[in-house]
Amino acid sequence: MAEAKRPAYASFAAAAVAATTELIVMQPLDVVKTRMHLQGTGIKTGDNFQGTAAAIRGIRQSEGLAGLWRGFVPGLCVVIPRRGFKFVFYDAFISMLWTGKQKAPFQHSLVAGGMAGAAEACIITPLECVKIAMQSEKAKRGCMKAMVRSGGVSSLYAGLGATVAKHTAHSCFYFAAFHETKKHAPKASSRLQQIALDLASGFIAGCAAATANNPFDVVKTRQQVGAAGALSSHAAGQEFAAGPSSWPSIASQLLRQDGISGFYKGYVAKVARLGPGSAMIFCVYEQVVSLFG
């Protein structure tokens, strides 16, 4: 993605198309990642899947193929504004931080990405809460209304701090890794080579972002599932609601029970999604945004 100034609507529209395409293909791995975040030492409602492949098989056998796309609608409601605002905010912040004619330096992309991630996290947290509640077990439609009715509007903002931390870490490396890879790669001499470069750079960016954000994501997932504890039908929510409620205390408990490895639960599923998924997003984004001139 070039630092050239482009209309905000072009960035948002291109990112929305890219995000929708990616989610349709990669949603099962997002469900698997969420389930694996919620298993571990002392957790009674956890699935205890032994790896990503076992989780896919287990969910398909117990919930059917549709179980792998659980929470798709709220997920779509999350990814469109999340990706849309992420790219819009990044364009705005990088324009503020860097006015040179060359590509922005690594540190500028890192800071602009982090600021973009923090800003979009504040917007999408309520929908993220609902998505996590639905992915964690067989939560029914109308989950948002039920959560507000039982726990108040504040229940939709559970995990805001952890969400901001996660998206800040994610976007720092998401954009910086993408631009640095393109900067140091041989210049593309054809459209096909440009697509290949976007795919490769996006893949590297996704893997870097996944590695940076996974610890915050595990904590965020547990905190947001706890917010669903007000729902009498949500067993996992009730279990996590009975435990620590702040994200520092959840992180402390996780470290004590499972060690450092606990912060990388679901990591394989996350990388398997964000590597190819980010390649897809950046490639589709670049192709769509070019249509706006």
Q: Report the CATH number that the domain containing residue 99 is assigned in CATH.
A: 1.50.40.10
Q: pLDDT band at residue 46, thresholds of 50, 70 and 90?
A: low
Tens of pLDDT, residue by residue over 145-157, are 777 877 788 888 9
Q: 2 pLDDT exceeds 50?
A: no
Angle (CA) 65 43 77, round 5°: 45
pLDDT of the residue at 233: 64
Q: 140 pLDDT exceeds 70?
A: no
Residue 66 lies in a domain: yes
Residue 264 lies in a domain: yes
pLDDT of the residue at 149: 79
Residue 225 lies in a domain: yes
Q: 79 pLDDT exceeds 80?
A: yes
pLDDT of the residue at 215: 96
pLDDT of the residue at 1: 46
pLDDT of the residue at 251: 94
Residue 89 lies in a domain: yes
Query: Please, are residues 203 and 276 in contact by the beta-carbon 8 Å criterion?
Result: yes
Q: pLDDT band at residue 18, thresholds of 50, 70 and 90?
A: very high
24-28, 31-35, 125-129, 135-139: which has the minimum mean pLDDT?
135-139
Return the closest-CA partner of residue 216 out of 174, 265, 273.
265
- Count: domains in the chain: 1
pLDDT of the residue at 37: 87
Residue 21 lies in a domain: yes
Residue 153 lies in a domain: yes
pLDDT of the residue at 141: 61
**Domain housing 104:** 8-292
Residue 181 lies in a domain: yes
3-12, 41-50, 109-118, 207-216: which has the minimum mean pLDDT?
41-50
pLDDT cut 90: percent of the chain above it: 61
